[in-house]
Amino acid sequence: MSHHPVLIEATELDRLRRSATPPLIVHVGDADGYARQHIPGAVFLDYADINANAPPTAGLVPDAASLSQVLSALGVDGHRHVVAYDDHNGGRAGRLLYTLEIAGHPQARMLNGGLTAWCNAGLEVQREPVTPEPGDFRVQWNDTPIATADYILEHLDDDDVVLLDVRSLDEYHGTDRKAARGGHIPGAVNMEWTLAIDEDQRMRTDDDMRAQLEGLGVTPDREIIVYCQTHHRSAHTWALLKAMGYPRVRGYPGAWSDWGNREDTPVEE
């Protein structure tokens, strides 16, 4: 089965990086991981640079001016294709794709399986850092991928909207509490995000995965809102659903660190 344009396989990326018009390859993560090994030509993006915090809420989307500065320094412009990857299960790369869509630059894909898949394919890596050539990217803000707490509150009883909580089952039931209150958003269904990752760290976009999602009511005809603790894990699920052809998918920046620490939001355990 051919992959959706959201994903790119390691062998295809290796071919494209050697072409006359290579994509901008971005290693999303931490400096130590990048220094150990990265894809040849890949530039480094500190994951923290695409997250904003307003304690106790974490994992918010930075404002347009900050994003424009970060993405331009990375080498992003309005034309060059971006390929994101990480060495940490794909959540960080998924968050960059999510951020780029908000920023109005949807010409981005995610390396399926990240650095693990790259290395498993026996492809070359390097340790030398790559200095980005700065671009001139100005964010054209797109709210469509974003679900806020207010938006969710307005749609709690909307049969057209499904809330997909991708945290652990203990977090979902509130026995593992990471905010002032534990539990989940009323009506949310649960599927831990790692169930969508195979043993090679690649996304499971197969028929079994689709059947599992649809068994939870997560169907392509409905709007899906994904969330976790800070929209790290659920950014991977956002990318998964986009890769599977779901047309209406939103992520909740701040996620449970927002909802669980507010006093005006209902909670179920």
Please list the active-site residues: 228
Cα(90)–Cα(112) distance, integer angstroms = 8
Length of the chain: 269
DSSP 88-105: STTHHHHHHHHHHHHTT-
Phi/psi zone of residue 129: left (φ > 0), alpha (ψ -120 to 50 degrees), beta?
Answer: beta
- Is-contact 83 94, C-beta < 8 A? no
Closest CA to 50 of 89, 3, 128, 105: 105
User: Could you tell me which residues come within 8 angstroms of residue 180 by beta carbon, excluding any fewer than 6 positions away?
Assistant: 56, 260, 261
